[in-house]
Amino acid sequence: MIRKVIVSLCLLFSAVAMSQESNASPYSYYGIGDQKFKGTAENRSMGGLGILADSIHINLQNPASYSFLKLTTFTVGGSNTATSFKTSDATDSANRTTLDYLAVGLPFKKIGVAFGLMPFTSVGYKIQNTAMGDDGINRFRQFNGTGGLNRVFFGASYRVTTKFSLGADFQYNFGNIDTKSIIGIPEQSVQYPTRETNNTNYGGFSFNIGAMYQTKINGKLTWHTSATFTPESTLNTSTERKIATISFVAGSDEFVQDEIEVVVPDKDVKLPSKFTFGSGIGEDRKWFAGAEYTFQGSNKLSNRFDDITSAGFENSYRISLGGFYIPNFMSFNSYLSRITYRAGLKYEKTGLVVNNESIDDMGLSLGLGLPIGGNFSNLNLGVEFGKRGTTNADLIQENYISLFVGLSFNDRWFVKRKYD
């Protein structure tokens, strides 16, 4: 049964992930968009921690965790995010529902493998303003962007000892980003605005390596340590660009007066390296508390229209604090006692700098892990309250609430029958 569920959901996820509009943030204008969280609902409920290896949950943040799996595990997750936008003199709002990940983990004694698909970045913005240039002329500007990159991955892990594991996963990042700019001079004799459209395809490989160490420090407590490293990688791009003069029909519909296609040379885009280290302590199947630090080098990405903004990139980092508590994992008469209660905090310096203001992201997350039936499958629910950006320097502050859900199905495969 689980095989049929996996195949059906894989096909559904692939179709939706390729077409979904998963972002509504003006900050996705920069580079290749907002980078999506690489983790499950369980991780996100703990502030984004990726320290723990689990026998029934796939940890997508550290490939060294795959060899700790005891059962074949299938996991899928999605989220709904409601965002309110605030400037010094205006407010707005948006809502997006997305599929966040789909993965399968397979255990083979000391070896574990996993593969899956998830969004990597997302773009979704519509910016419009009228401003005076250095030449004293008012210009109407409109910028639109949609699309993003997806990531398909395959990884493996080896349990070197009962305490230490090493792993690596390889990813192919691919996708398409569409951007459009319209510039007009309504107060001058220029009759038609100018429109430029860009359709850019991205593709390239990347990989990361990980290590995990667990050891008992007394009869009850276990110390967990995790580290991952992602080297710098390259995306190949090809762009189709068209420039046209247009007129507006019925106020918003665009009618092309004249259009030409511009040849754009292919180029490579560099993705920065990243290092993550985390550590924590807990009692197995009872509680855990930990902290994690992620450092990423400065982006070398740019946007076609960066010349109209004062934007750049700096080194980024994220600090996560979180954990879980299970009242009684083996309780037979109290369902509430078998629920996993999770909570976490995060603070992230995203690396984006606009008008000399660093764009930071901070959030509080809460979650529940609900056992399903009599096996080890579970439903994971979570909510995150966060704030990104600032109203300083004429920028936008985003206040968001994300509701997310993850399903983790477990089964035993590759078992020889002892009796016919």
DSSP annotation string for 212-251: EEEEESSSSEEEEEEEEEE--EEEEEEEEEEEEEEEEETT
Buried b (16+ CB within 10 A) or exposed e, 18-55: eebebbbbbbbbbbbbbbbbbbbbbbbbbbbbbbbbee
The DSSP letter of residue 191 is -
What pLDDT score was predicted for residue 40? 95
Instruction: Please state whether beta strands 340-354 and 357-371 pair in parallel, antiparallel, or not at all (unpaired).
Output: antiparallel
What pLDDT score was predicted for residue 20? 52
Cα torsion 237, 152, 303, 40 to 10°: value is -170
What pLDDT score was predicted for residue 410? 86
- DSSP lists the bridge partners of residue 119 as 150
d(CA 394, CA 354) in angstroms, rounded, equals 10
Phi, psi of 261, rounded to the nearest 5 degrees? -105, 135
d(CA 115, CA 263) in angstroms, rounded, equals 38
Cα torsion 299, 303, 306, 310 to 10°: value is -30
What pLDDT score was predicted for residue 286? 94
pLDDT beneath 70: ranges in the chain: 1-22, 131-137, 186-190, 249-252, 300-310, 374-375, 413-420
What pLDDT score was predicted for residue 313? 83
Fold of the CATH domain 2-411:
Porin (2.40.160)
- DSSP lists the bridge partners of residue 300 as none
Four-residue CA torsion sign, 210, 69, 317, 35: positive
What pLDDT score was predicted for residue 129? 73
CB atoms within 10 A of CB 404: 23
Strands annotated E in 87-159: 91-108, 111-132, 138-159
The amino acid at 382: G
What pLDDT score was predicted for residue 133? 62
Query: What is the pTM (predicted TM-score) of this model?
Result: 0.88
The DSSP letter of residue 393 is G
What are the start-end ranges of the H helices in 39-113?
41-45
Question: Domains of the chain: which residue ranges?
Answer: 2-411
What pLDDT score was predicted for residue 1? 47
What pLDDT score was predicted for residue 134? 63
What pLDDT score was predicted for residue 305? 52
What pLDDT score was predicted for residue 64? 97
What pLDDT score was predicted for residue 257? 83
What pLDDT score was predicted for residue 18? 46
What pLDDT score was predicted for residue 59? 94
Q: CB–CB of 40/77 below 8 Å?
A: yes
- Rounded to the nearest 5 percent, the helix, strand and coil shares of the chain are 10, 60, 30
